[in-house]
Amino acid sequence: MRFPIGFTMAQMKHRGKMSREGRKRYPTVLMLEPLYTCNLACIGCSVERHTGRLADRMSLEQCLQAVDDCGAPIVNLCGGEPTLYPELKGLVDGLIERGKYIICCTNALKLDTKVFGVIPPHPQFFLMIHLDGMRKTHDHVCAREGVFDKAIEMLREAKRLGYVTMINTTVFKETEVAEVEEMCKLVEELRADGILISPGYDYESVEADVFLTKEQIHEKFQAIRGFSGKYKINATPMFLEFAAGMRELPCAPWSTVNFTPKGWKAPCYLIGEGFIEKWDDFWENTNWEYWESRLDSRCQNCKMHSGFEHSAVEEAMKTMKGKLQLAAWSLTG
Ligand code: SF4
């Protein structure tokens, strides 16, 4: 199976319920950022996401309220570095109790002290370790030596302890496709539960010239798509076709909503035109039609999972061929 069966079923159940209720737009994933504090300052990360003070973090109650308000079955804990959130255990417990699937997006540096022995492995709790390349590349991207080795040590330990553990890789301008394949092989060698490969987003607040143009994304993802069948890559075949420039998709920014220490980020995980305190104001007043159209200049080079994976699945579900392709992809890997 590409993902644990419960995770796939939770998404299908949610889609079915939304469709029965006649909802065209609904969130499936909540990117919950309880804090903007981090123990790294990676070169491709938007500045506000790693410069926040711990004192400015969200309360546990605010986090759970956001989860209840949006109703998404999947909660990605990110930020900031979520393992630095002092209330992490209470948050994970509250999410498990609500039947949510939790993806803890982490640089892994603190897993041994903040997660192992504190939050036990659970079928609804996944670790997603950030790894942007092999040793030299990853340490360069993280602007610190030794991060790669520590992440690999933590990944091995996480698997030994029984955590569902995946890798999340961002492809930058300098990323060699051969290195991406090397990482896919590493995932197999470490018996990790998959790798999510995404093109980086060109944040206005990041000065480094590391991001890809649309044409460069297409070129790299055509090559990645070429070997994707051999590995457990956690992006649907339709998304990879989109990333490789073989099909167009509308954006679905509402499918992955983002709650931050400043409020609901509108319109999407990448663009913060506004930060809105109340869920209803955010949901009802964001001009979804405009953002779906991708006419905004900031959308031109965007090929992010958070915007397009939902549309890729919707597209697949329109035809029998697409449904079969999606089912085959889910059952293998
Ligand atoms: S295309 Fe990208 S930047 Fe634009 S709204 Fe969608 S997710 Fe956000």
pLDDT digits (tens, 9 = 90+) for 44-59: 788 888 888 999 999 9
C-alpha to C-alpha distances, 166 to 36, 40, 176, 206, nearest whole angstrom: 22, 20, 21, 26
Query: Please, what is the average pLDDT of the chain?
Result: 93
Asked if pLDDT for residue 209 goes beyond 80, the answer is: no
Please give the Cα distance from 256 to 33 (Å, whole number).
13
Helical spans, DSSP H, in the chain: 5-20, 60-70, 88-97, 111-114, 135-141, 147-161, 177-189, 214-228, 237-243, 279-285, 288-293, 305-316, 320-331
**Dist. CA 268 → ligand 1 center (Å):** 6
Asked if pLDDT for residue 206 goes beyond 80, the answer is: no
pLDDT digits (tens, 9 = 90+) for 154-163: 999 999 999 9
CA nearest ligand 1 atom 4, residue: 299
C-alpha to C-alpha distances, 177 to 170, 237, 327, nearest whole angstrom: 12, 18, 27
Q: What is the pTM of this model?
A: 0.94
Domains, in order of start, for the chain: 5-331 (3.20.20.70)
55 burial via Cβ count (<10 Å: 0-12, 13-18, 19+): exposed
Question: Is there a contact between 306 and 196 (Cβ–Cβ < 8 Å)?
Answer: no
**Average pLDDT of 252-266?**
96
Question: Is there a contact between 151 and 108 (Cβ–Cβ < 8 Å)?
Answer: yes
Res 233: pLDDT: 93
**Average pLDDT of 183-196?**
95
**Average pLDDT of 320-333?**
88
Q: Closest by alpha carbon to 30, among 68, 84, 81?
A: 68
Residue with tokens 């909660």: 75
pLDDT digits (tens, 9 = 90+) for 91-143: 999 999 999 999 999 999 999 999 999 999 999 999 999 999 999 999 999 99
**Dist. CA 256 → ligand 1 center (Å):** 11
**Average pLDDT of 202-208?**
63
pLDDT digits (tens, 9 = 90+) for 273-287: 999 999 999 999 999
Res 242: pLDDT: 94
CB atoms within 10 A of CB 56: 11
CA nearest ligand 1 atom 3, residue: 299
